[in-house]
Amino acid sequence: MENVIELQNVNKAFKGFELKDLSISVKKGFVTGFIGGNGVGKSTTIKLILNLLQPDSGDVSVFGLNYKKHEKEIKQRIGFVFDHNVFYEHITLSDMKKIIKPAYKNWDDGIFHQYVNLFELPLKKSIKTFSKGMMMKASLAFALSHRAELIIMDEPTSGLDPIFRRELLDILHDIMQDGEKTIFFSTHITTDLDRIADYITFIHNGQHIFTKEHYKIEEDYAIVKGETNLLDRDTEQEFIGIRKSNHGFEALTTNKQRTANLFGDMVILEKPTLEDIMLYTKKGNDNYVKSYS
Amino acid sequence: MLNLIRKDIVLQKNSLLILLPALFIFLFLERSVIWVGVIFCFAIIMQSFALDEKPSANLLMNSLPYTRKEIVSSKYIGACVFTFLVLLTIVIGNLIIHREITQWDQLLFIASVIVVFISFAFPFSYLFKSQYLMMACGVLFVLYVVLVNTFIPDLGDRLRAGVQTILSFDNSLLYAGGILAAVLLYMFSWMLSIRIYSRKVF
């Protein structure tokens, strides 16, 4: 399967934070959700993909092209949405269109006006009067009007009301129908991904934890619940993160089958949510923090 | 690249609509064309620069299919366009108000001052921020005053005399040399700004 985005052994260090040997690939024609807590490197990764930052080492390629030689060509084919307003605030949407339109060869006024009507956006009001939801709709209209093959979004659903979040996901779902487009978006509202994501990429503390097909996660991962006396130094190795309480323990396993074979009927296995996986991975990294509830 | 310059003009549309007529009024009141021209050029150019300095504007410009080289270059060419607009307004204004044709050496002098000023202001602003520019000017002025008072008490007179001498030369070769020096300075500043901007982190 063709990869649209490929990061290979990318390192990028800032003061107090670094991406370590990050290798990620995003498959063409699918929606990939990009998850991780706050400050683990999601935005940095997205900026690397958009060439807003250059890696200290490693390679970034988009559509199989690198930015050194094909910067404009790549950007022509990308639509971007950021979590905050990047448009000039003192001008109107129609003026903003005048600025963005000439940048793209494949700009289609018809599509733009179709979205503007669909989203009920005012063309003649200055952008600073827009609500958060309207800003997001405007960003989306711009991102979709030049027939981008790859749409990259940084936290597009944060700060939106539940109704518009649903609408947004429906729109993204519609866009995906022709099978030619690829969406890569970061979020920490993991329930959004249940509706739409085909793949999940998870990073933690600047490191790639996994990229899996969404349905596979439920097949591999499980939340394990059982009596605390089942835990010893060996069995604890089976789990990524463990939460112990007076009533027993709860832990996350990456190998459901193996855990089932090992503990048999002594434990209960439950479907994990993406949030569970994020939480336990963080706990695991923080060295099995105990909690007494 | 043309798109980026057009973008600056679209963004400055309202300011231009206010500033250029204001320039007319100034011409009507004041005869010192050079001073007014320099101030107006600089105000418009730096306002346009400051607008694109916000992190969000940088994010937008760099996500659109433009290279960083083009983004910087558009500012340098745009500065020339804005200067041209102001000079054109001055020429037309003088023609209408005073029924006289503006001396070309005055226009050239304004353009040269702007070129030299921008050559320092742009790299400085890319490196730091344009809002520190006034501060830097203040510091430089204080340094100048201190230097003058302690070391060369008659520096001001000497400079004035120097400028007078240069202006009194009616030598086209000298003019050509001056223009060439200003253009070279501008080019150097342009390259320097590209270097600074391409290393920026947003």
- Return the CATH number at A90: 3.40.50.300
pLDDT digits (tens, 9 = 90+) for B126-173: 888 777 877 887 888 788 778 777 776 676 777 777 767 766 666 677
Task: List, in order, residues 6 or more apart from A199 with CB less than 8 Å away.
Answer: A26, A27, A30, A31, A32, A33, A211, A212, A213, A214
Last residue of a domain, one of A166, A197, A217: A217
Inform me whether the pLDDT recorded for B110 exceeds 80.
yes
Picking from A37-46, A58-67, A175-184, B19-28, which range would have the lowest pLDDT averaged per residue?
B19-28
Claim to verify: residue A229 and residue A209 sit in the same structural domain: no
Q: Residues of B with CB below 8 A from A98's CB?
A: 10
Q: What is the CATH number of the domain that holds A276?
A: 3.30.70
Using an 8 Å Cβ cutoff, are A256 and A227 in contact? no
B18 touching A (Cβ < 8 Å): no
Å between A201 CA and nearest CA of chain B: 23
Claim to verify: residue A238 and residue A165 sit in the same structural domain: no
Local confidence band at A288 (pLDDT 50, 70, 90 cut-offs):
very low
Q: Residues of B with CB below 8 A from A51's CB?
A: 62
Q: Which 61-90 residues of chain B touch chain A by CB within 8 A? A: 62-67
Please classify residue A69 by burial: count the beta carbons closer than 10 Å to its beta carbon, then call 0-12 exposed, 13-18 middle and 19+ buried. Answer: exposed
pLDDT digits (tens, 9 = 90+) for A233-263: 778 877 888 888 888 888 888 888 888 888 8
The chain-wide mean pLDDT, for chain A, equals 86
Claim to verify: residue A271 and residue A148 sit in the same structural domain: no
Query: Which is it for the CA torsion B162, B163, B165, B169, positive or negative?
Result: positive
Question: Would you call A118 helix, strand, or coil by DSSP?
Answer: helix
Task: List, in order, residues 6 or more apart from A255 with CB less than 8 Å away.
Answer: A220, A238
A86 touching B (Cβ < 8 Å): yes
Claim to verify: residue A191 and residue A235 sit in the same structural domain: no
Residue B121 confidence (pLDDT): 87
Inform me whether the pLDDT recorded for A131 exceeds 80.
yes
Claim to verify: residue A172 and residue A255 sit in the same structural domain: no
Claim to verify: residue A155 and residue A178 sit in the same structural domain: yes
Section B18-28 average pLDDT:
81
A15 touching B (Cβ < 8 Å): no
Using an 8 Å Cβ cutoff, are A223 and A272 in contact? yes
Is position A25 within any domain? yes
Residue B185 confidence (pLDDT): 92
Task: Give the DSSP letter of residue A10.
Answer: E
User: Beta strand A207-213 with A199-204: parallel, antiparallel or unpaired?
Assistant: antiparallel
pTM of the model: 0.82
Is position A291 within any domain? no
Residue B33 confidence (pLDDT): 77
A84 touching B (Cβ < 8 Å): yes
Last residue of a domain, one of A194, A217, A240: A217
* Pairwise CB contact (< 8 Å): A103 & B60: no
Claim to verify: residue A127 and residue A190 sit in the same structural domain: yes
Q: Chain B residue with minimal CA distance to A102?
A: B3
Higher pLDDT, B62 or B94: B62
- Number of domains composing chain A: 2
Å between A7 CA and nearest CA of chain B: 18
Q: Residues of A with CB below 8 A from B65's CB?
A: 71-73, 75-76, 103-104
* Pairwise CB contact (< 8 Å): A103 & B64: yes
Is position A292 within any domain? no
Section A20-35 average pLDDT:
90
Claim to verify: residue A140 and residue A253 sit in the same structural domain: no
Using an 8 Å Cβ cutoff, are A188 and A277 in contact? no
pLDDT digits (tens, 9 = 90+) for A83-107: 888 898 888 999 999 889 998 999 9
Of B63, B67, B201, the CB nearest to A50: B63
Is position A20 within any domain? yes
* Pairwise CB contact (< 8 Å): B7 & A99: yes
- In angstroms, the CA A129 to CA A123 distance is 12
Section A71-82 average pLDDT:
91
Claim to verify: residue A241 and residue A184 sit in the same structural domain: no
Find the domain containing A266 and state its range: 221-285
Last residue of a domain, one of A166, A190, A217: A217
Claim to verify: residue A112 and residue A233 sit in the same structural domain: no
* Pairwise CB contact (< 8 Å): B60 & A75: no
Find the domain containing B107 and state its range: 2-198
Is position A290 within any domain? no
Picking from A120-129, A135-144, B127-136, which range would have the lowest pLDDT averaged per residue?
B127-136
Cβ pairs A/B, distance under 8 A: 53
- Number of domains composing chain B: 1
- In angstroms, the CA A149 to CA A71 distance is 15
Claim to verify: residue A211 and residue A227 sit in the same structural domain: no
Task: Give the DSSP letter of residue A82.
Answer: -
ipTM above 0.85, yes or no: no
Task: List, in order, residues 6 or more apart from A104 with CB less than 8 Å away.
Answer: A76, A145, A146, B65
Claim to verify: residue A210 and residue A238 sit in the same structural domain: no
Residue type, B159: L
Sheet with A199-204, side-by-side order of all strands: A78-81, A150-154, A182-186, A31-35, A199-204, A207-213
